[in-house]
Structure 1
Amino acid sequence: MAESDNGVRKSTAYPYSSGGWGSLKAVAGALAQEKVPLKEITVLLKQNKPDGFACVSCSWAKPADPHMFEFCESGAKATAWDLTAKRMTPQFFDLHTVTQLCAWHDHDLEEAGRLTAPLRYDPASDKYVGVSWEEAFEDIGRELRALDPGRVVFYASGRASLETSYMYQLFARMYGTNNLPDSSNMCHESTSVGLKEAIGAGVGTITLDDFEKTDLMFFFGQNVGTNSPRMLHQLQEARKRGVPIITFNPLREPGLLQFANPQSPVEMMTPAHTVISTQYHQLKTGGDTAAILGICKAVIHADDRAVERGEPRILDVAFIQEHTTGFEAFADYVRAASWDDIERVAGVSRADLEAAAEEYMRANAVIAHYGMGITQHRQGVQNVRMLCNLLFLRGNVGKPGAGPSPVRGHSNVQGQRTVGITEKPELAPLDKLASQFDFEPPREKGMNVVEAFEAMIDGKVSAVVNLGGNLVRSVPDRLRIEPAWRNLKLTVNVATKLNRSHLVHGEKSYILPCLSRIEIDMRESGEQAVSMEDSTGCIHGSRGVAEPASPDVRSEPYIVAQLAKHTLGEGSTVDWDRWCNDYALVREEIAKTYPETFHGLNERMWTPGGFPRDLPARERKWQTKSGKAEFKAPESIGEDPDMPERDSRSLRLMTLRSDSQFNTTIYSLEDRFRGIRGERMVILMCEADMAQHGLKKDDRVTLQTIADDGFQRRVAGLRIQPYDIPAGCIAGYYPECNPLLPLWHCAKESKVPGAKSIPVHIVEVNGTPREV
């Protein structure tokens, strides 16, 4: 296998740099596929600019001094997807029944174009039919008033702006429920719980400025090349300063190996590129706690030796003594840990972990980036706490160039939590909302995503309002969820395009088409703008620049306001009509509810680079139970002590996304980084496992989940593809493999679905059953 400049092996599936000509070709292909007019292509020049719109894809930070082309391949695809010239008018639905559309591939449903008018499901014809906005709002309001609020779920996808999210949570609470699950429940809730316990804030502490001051970066379970490619600019600049980057990831991902900047003439016209990872360790799926424990063990051992020899300490003793609690218990656990156990569970050698520790001990300021490879495990919260433990050892929180960096997905998934989208009443300013709007908010805990679907299966949910997203497709245990979803009395979907959740409908179902953030939002008081929070906790304004897909689509704030007005009626103290015609009024109320972060929001939202939210942990002020940053020893180093591997033929499946995908939106059936073309029913497996299981390339297998709960979970027709992945671990695409993920197989404290570690058996090969 070929090696990069620093000796780190390249990927054999895609032995080229990420970015470069491959990225430009992919962007051009996406624009052509969606038939985006030439005049609309110039919209890309306004993407992630202070006077333009925030990308509708990932939530990576927006710099104060942006590049001319401040968008990545993924962001350009997302923009092309929204700017498509294709339309799904009511006439389209005249030609297709819902039953027929259910047979379409997920890609084809969304690729058919933008929704242009509100629709209501008609059971007599099995079709969605056109309906007026007023009729839709009146009927939805009437249905919601007739239901028990405790049986209604208000789901929020991560794209909704701060204004929309604030209105949505206020609507739900005035209606009488804290059932406000969101996409954070599916991915970074382990962060929200783990960081909150460890440092007193459920978000990361770094900003873009920290990239200029860091001495070392770790990556755990985050594929920057496909999930947040604009971040590669900051990584490239850091590498040119000589900053090491140490990566722990089961798969060898090209985006973490080397990068050719499409905006650099030299790198585009020559073989020049930037090596990203200086160390790349392919740990076993679920081996994160063990790997981090090994680094901590090497650091504490080095410090113990320094004490014995009277040499300078390795640990930041002053930080530990002044700012932390629990160190001694953690250190005792680390000292007692067995290297044999660490190597076995992590799948990484002691020598490699000690090499990572050596770099860590040389650095004065360290950032730990991580993604869902850390959080989507049964021990997801523990993984987050272990990263904090590692950072605490050398004082790498609350100082320039250092800190935890959870890399979020959706473009405002973090921000909607900041303004009250949460099922946990203790995290929402209920007393403030009560006095501000003269009502009594519900105080009982609401349902998160997993709890909502558990209740739905038990017949305890009557309606779901979806603010964006494709919830039916994204959840675990889909084959159990879909029948329960069809039993709902009401499903309401706010969306730009048709997706699977609209077709698996309730007794009554509405599709309410909304503007994309890219589009001009003109209301009675003039052109409107919205705001959002990026992954680094900075708040930005966003203003649409493209013409709307249809004169009959409405903005998300308008739709939420009208749903609230028609449901709450005279019982609401909010003038919803004024709010949906002037979003500045909503921002004024946000500032009243959260004055520490949002004072002067209407003016400050246009600050180049955004303004940072109030985050005491950045100043080493710890809003934890103890008032200090808290070390915590792990419960165990095994990924899943409740579900151990049962025999030598068991495999651990992780789900992943392709480079032509954002969450459940699939832009094409290509995954060039992994050498996959034309399909997504694929399992990546190392050649050693293929030999052990008697498999060859292109064999078709059926996987079955190892579980003793009375349900048989299978996915058939998965093609075997050789890939560089640790033995005993396999990978398949999300959401195609979701039926294999039990609803209860989730992180213990956060209930994030354990999608990165699903124990499975191969039960069929090329149509022939196999004993396990």
Structure 2
Amino acid sequence: MKKPTFKPYRLPSGGWGSVRSVREILQREGVLASAGIALTRHNKVDGYQCNSCAWVKPATPLPFEFCENGAKAVAWEITAHRCTPEFLAEHTVAEMREWDDYHLEQPGRLTHPMRYDAASDKYVPVSWGHAIEEISRELRAVADKLKGTVFYSSGRLSNEASYLYSLFARLYGNNNLPDSSNMCHETTSVALPASIGQGVGTVDLGDFAHSDCIMFFGQNPGSNSPRMLHPLQEASQRGVPIITYNPLRERGLERFLNPQSPTEMLTGRETRISSQYHQVKNGGDLAALTGICKAVLAMHDERKSAGGDAVLDEAFIAEHTHGFESFADWLRRQDWDELERRSGLHRADMESTATVYAGSNAVIGIYGMGLTQHQAGVETVRLLVNLLLMRGNMGKSGAGICPVRGHSNVQGQRTMGITEKPELFPLDRLGQQFGFEPPREPGYNTVEACEAILKDEVRAFVMIGGNFARAIPDHGQMEPAWRRMRLTVNVITKLNRTALLPGEISYILPVIGRLEIDRTAAGQQVLSMEDTSACVHGNRGVRLPASPHLISEIRLLCELAKLTLDPNPRVRWDDYMRDYAEIRKEVGETLPDSFYDYERRMWEPGGFQRDLPVKRREWRTKSGRAEFVTPTGLDEDMDMPGVGHEVLRLMTLRSNDQFNTTIYGYDDRFRGINNIRKVVLMNRSDIDRMALRVGQAVTLRTVANDGVDRRLPGMIVVAYDIPIGCIGGYYPECNVLMPVWHYAAGSKTPAAKSIPVTVHSEDDTVLEPQMEYATG
């Protein structure tokens, strides 16, 4: 490891920094010369959809339709490195468990199915036939305890595999289908149906070209969805105001230099992104949104009393909404001093946003986990919807709500039935189609699965993709409980920490990746995915598999189902794994409104969009109208006495060099942090007030009254531009500090953006050299 450095990064997002970063990872993964062909097919109509984020795949792609993080994800998958049985024979599981997340994945792609051997504490090679037979036998053994088996999937699983996986689980007898959405945007899946009657956003890529105001809340496109910066740049260059509310000043929301533009790269001409940037406190968005809404309503009241034109869209509110008067009465009662205290902003900040909003005709509201991962996250998302409804910014061109999904197909998984909530999938139709009675009891979401594992109520856990045990909260409690399970199945492509927590019987089953060619007896197969705008796209692999010993997720599921489940002549497992078009035919029968003519439409430029009723102002809510929510309070998280003094609000973050639990490196370029991840970002005033020093090692401890000592030692203090009373640290390392029970009401999304912690000095040692503010 190189020596850590901390210094301001003064360049824009994108630019030559992105080019160098891509070159470095391609070189490190041994694919600098060979990656070019794969990258030319990235996000192309007849190519593959990005295996990183879920941002929109355009109908007319750029010559290089990938961003820095997309290229990193490609390099991670097509790496020349291999994690072979010989490598695993050299290292015990206990030894590898001491490695950090980056070094666990650096051995490369797994090449053979492996079974854990407790006697040697090593994974040893096994045949596919033996693995599938034993797993199916174990699943049948616990089938009488229907909630004792959990079927988890990450957001990279294709539509076809997701459909079969959800069918498998329900034929098995339960709805225990937690997924990565539970950890990030489950709040969206609860809030939007209650407000507008659909669980996904209303905005497509074309809306950005017609919007005259864009508002951001708690979402960082520079690190999380960099291709989004292209429509934002175009909007900014048209003079569209872009207003941002975020605790940290993220470079991607400040300035952008387009690596796709030779002129910009040669001249250094960058584009300003945000026209207003408000650094709201961790957990202060509910109060900030209330302030904006209150200011808009006050402008309306003043103009109406003076005989002027209305600010609110009164006709839209009267025809299309319900609950406005109750909400308006609540707004008028809110106190500006309280709104300022809870948001960390001045009244003028919120009023300036309201002024721009009131003067705009088509407004897009964009948000990410900065809104969803709070205890009152559902109410906060619904309050953003309220703001848009006040001026009719739903169901018209250039306007609407835009939740930015992280995982590349997490939205498609939900569409295909990966959900613990039986009411979200047409089970009556599914049962009729396949001749069985689907289970109606709700299954476990992520938090409920964790709670059941802690109680030793889960005997088998099947994980297709992801790194569940690392992504979840409360590592100190969860990891010992994880190892008490009878069966743990890890369907993955690279080694990760979850696989190093083997149950009594544990398997590593490596599969073909999205970029790889999947051939069956019927020829090369294709897959499909859904992006964050609910558009469905085809996916065609372009590389040979990393090992001849890999099989597809679909073949694995079909072979496992044939041995685990009772025979059902209507479920044609052999046909499905021979020709994936047969799966898509079944999808079209289960979901006819959106997936008719599936085989052809998924290759349309830009994909085909699922039916979105809100686009035609059709509200599938209980009242048949869009619903205004009246919040129950102003605090997004638990009241924490002493916030800003002894107790601070911790928000977890991604670095520029990671995708969720996948760590590509130790640099966070845009924040000026290099060669280290164990850092805590603190306001200089908090550092001085607490008698700490920049560069000092500290321990973070969670403030909770449950008798559990949650602590994270060895964190290095970095002075940073973050609101007083707030601190930041990287995910997943900081997840050890988050209790399982600290989640959003209504959605149970872990409340990772405001964890109450205290900071304790470890000793007088200071990391040299003396650090600067890590911002420009």
The alpha-carbon deviation at position 639 of structure 1 amounts to 2.0
Partner of 1:142: 137
CA shift at 1:12, angstroms?
A: 7.8
Alpha carbons 2:380, 2:636 under 8 Å: kept: no
Q: Report how far residue 112 of structure 1 moved.
A: 1.1
SS in 1 for 2:477: helix
The number of residue pairs the alignment matches comes to 758
Aligned to 1:6: none
Alignment of 1:313-324 (within 5 A): 313-324=310-321
* Residue range with higher mean Cα deviation, 31-40 or 500-509: 31-40
- 1:149 CA displacement: 2.4
**Aligned equivalent of 1:178:** 175
**SS class of match (1:398):** coil
1:626 pairs with 2:623: yes
Corresponding letter in the other structure for 1:85: A
% identical aligned pairs: 57
Equivalent residue letter for 2:61: P
Write out aligned runs for 1:187-586 (5 A): 187-571=184-568, 573-586=570-583
**Following the alignment from structure 2 to structure 1, what is the Cα–Cα distance between the partners of residues 268 and 155?**
38
Structure 1 position 702 matched with structure 2 position 699: yes
1:67 maps to which of 62, 68, 92? 62
Report the Cα distance in structure 2 between the residues aligned to 1:493 and 1:524, rounded to whole angstroms: 26
SS in 1 for 2:567: helix
The one-character-per-residue Cα deviations of 1:276-335 (angstroms, maximum 9, x if unpaired) are 000000000000010011110110000001110110100000100000000000001111
Q: After TM superposition, give the deviation of residue 641 of structure 1 in Å.
A: 3.7
Contact 1:703 1:764 in 2 (8 A): no
Q: Is the 8 A contact 1:169 1:421 kept in 2?
A: yes
Question: Residue type matched to 2:72 in 1?
Answer: K
Normalised TM-score (structure 2) = 0.97
Q: Normalization by structure 1: what TM-score?
A: 0.97
Letter in 1 for 2:471: S
Deviates more, 1:553-562 or 1:441-450: 553-562
Letter of the aligned partner of 2:756 in structure 1? P
* Pairing 1:107–2:99 present: no
Q: Which residue of 2 aligns with 1:77?
A: 72
Shift of 1:69: 0.3
Aligned residue for 2:396, secondary structure, equals coil
Q: 1:601 aligns with which of 598, 601, 607?
A: 598
- Write the mapping of 1:17-36 to structure 2, written as runs, cut at 5 A: 17-36=12-31
Kindly report structure 1 stretches of 4+ aligned residues shifted beyond 6 Å. Answer: none
Partner AA of 2:737 in structure 1: L
Report SS of the residue matched to 1:135. helix
Q: Distance in 2 between matches of 1:121 and 1:70?
A: 41
Q: Compute the displacement of 1:240 (Å).
A: 1.2
**Partner secondary structure for residue 128 of structure 1:** strand
Contact 1:37 / 1:85 at 8 angstroms: preserved in 2?
A: no
Distance (Å, rounded) in 1 between the aligned partners of 2:63 and 2:152? 36
Deviations 1:606-648 (A, max 9, x none): 0100111011011110001111000011111112245555672
Q: Which residue of 2 aligns with 1:724?
A: 721
Q: Is the 8 A contact 2:18 2:68 kept in 1?
A: yes
Q: Distance in 2 between matches of 1:613 and 1:587?
A: 15
Aligned residue for 1:670, secondary structure, equals: coil
1:382-414 C-alpha deviation (Å, 9 max, x unpaired): 110110000000000111000010000000001
Q: Residue 313 of structure 1 aligns to which amino acid in structure 2?
A: A
Query: Which segments of 5 or more consecutive residues in structure 2 lack a partner in the other structure?
Result: 1-5, 766-776
Give the corresponding residue for 1:8: none
Matched-pair contact (CA < 8 Å) for 2:641–2:647:
no
Quick check: 1:645–1:759 contact (8 Å CA) kept in 2?
no
Letter in 2 for 1:49: K
Q: Structure 1's 638 and 162: CA in aligned 2 closer, same or farther, altered over 3 A?
A: same
Q: Secondary structure at the match of 1:748?
A: coil
For residues 350-375 of structure 1, give each alpha carbon's deviation from its aligned partner in whole angstroms, at most 9, with x where no partner exists: 11111111110110000011000000
Corresponding residue for residue 684 of structure 1: 681
The alpha carbon displacement at 1:577 in A equals 1.7
Residue 38 of structure 2 is aligned with which of 29, 43, 56? 43
CA RMSD of superposed structures (Å): 1.2
CA-to-partner distance for each residue in 1:33-75, whole Å, 9 max, x for gaps?
1001523332101000001000100000000000000000000
Q: Secondary structure at the match of 1:694?
A: coil
**d(CA) in 1 for partners of 2:127, 2:511:** 14
Residues 61-106 of structure 1 show CA distances to partners (whole Å, capped at 9, x for unaligned) of: 0000000000000000000000100001111111111111111111
Partner SS state of residue 570, structure 1:
coil
Q: 1:133 aligns with which of 125, 128, 135?
A: 128
CA distance in 1, matches of 2:408, 2:448: 25
Aligned residue identity for 1:617: V
1:593 and 1:644, CA in 2 relative to 1: closer, same or farther beyond 3 A? farther
Gaps of 5+ in 1: 1-10
1:763 is displaced (CA, Å) by 3.0
- Amino acid of the structure 2 residue aligned with 1:203: V
User: Is the CA contact (8 Å cut-off) linking 1:225 and 1:232 kept in structure 2?
Assistant: yes
In 2, Cα distance between the equivalents of 1:391 and 1:329? 17
Does residue 1:759 correspond to 2:756, yes or no? yes
The answer as to whether partners of 2:35 and 2:75 remain within 8 angstroms in 1 is no
Q: Does 1:156 align with 2:153?
A: yes
1:617 to 594, 614, 633: 614
In structure 2, the residue corresponding to 1:761 is in which secondary structure? strand
> What does residue 51 of structure 2 align with?
56
In 2: Cα distance, 1:617 partner to 1:201 partner: 7
Q: 1:120 aligns with which of 115, 124, 138?
A: 115
Q: Aligned AA for 1:14?
A: Y
> Which secondary structure does the structure 1 equivalent of 2:24 belong to?
helix
Residue 149 of structure 2 contacts residue 459 of structure 2 at CA under 8 Å; is this kept in 1?
Answer: yes
Name the amino acid aligned to 2:36.
I
Amino acid at match of 1:130: P
SS of structure 1 residue aligned to 2:198: coil
Compute the displacement of 1:266 (Å): 1.4
CA distance in 2, matches of 1:686, 1:646: 14
Is contact 1:160-1:412 (8 Å) kept?
Answer: yes
- Mapped to 1, the partners of 2:516 and 2:641 lie a distance apart of 50
Whether contact under 8 Å (2:644, 2:724) holds in the other structure is no
**Hey, what's the Cα distance between the residues in 2 that align with 1:708 and 1:664?**
28
Give the whole-Å Cα distance in 2 for the aligned partners of 1:466 and 1:149. Answer: 17
1:377 deviates by 0.4
Matched residue type, 2:127: S
Q: Which amino acid aligns with 1:696?
A: R
Distance 2:218 2:569 in 1: 45
C-alpha distance after superposition, 1:517-557 (max 9, x if no partner): 00111111010110010001100001000111011111111
In structure 1, distance between residues paired with 2:717 and 2:34: 43
Report if the CA contact (8 A) 2:643-2:725 is conserved: no
**In structure 1, distance between residues paired with 2:72 and 2:684:** 33
> Does the 8 Å contact 1:40/1:546 carry over to 2?
no
Displacement of 1:422? 0.4
Partner secondary structure for residue 718 of structure 1: strand
SS of 1:480's equivalent? helix
Q: Deviations over 1:587-611 (max 9, x none)?
A: 0000000000101111100010011
Change (3 A) 1:325 1:531: same
Question: What letter is aligned with 2:241?
Answer: P
Q: Which amino acid aligns with 1:444?
A: E
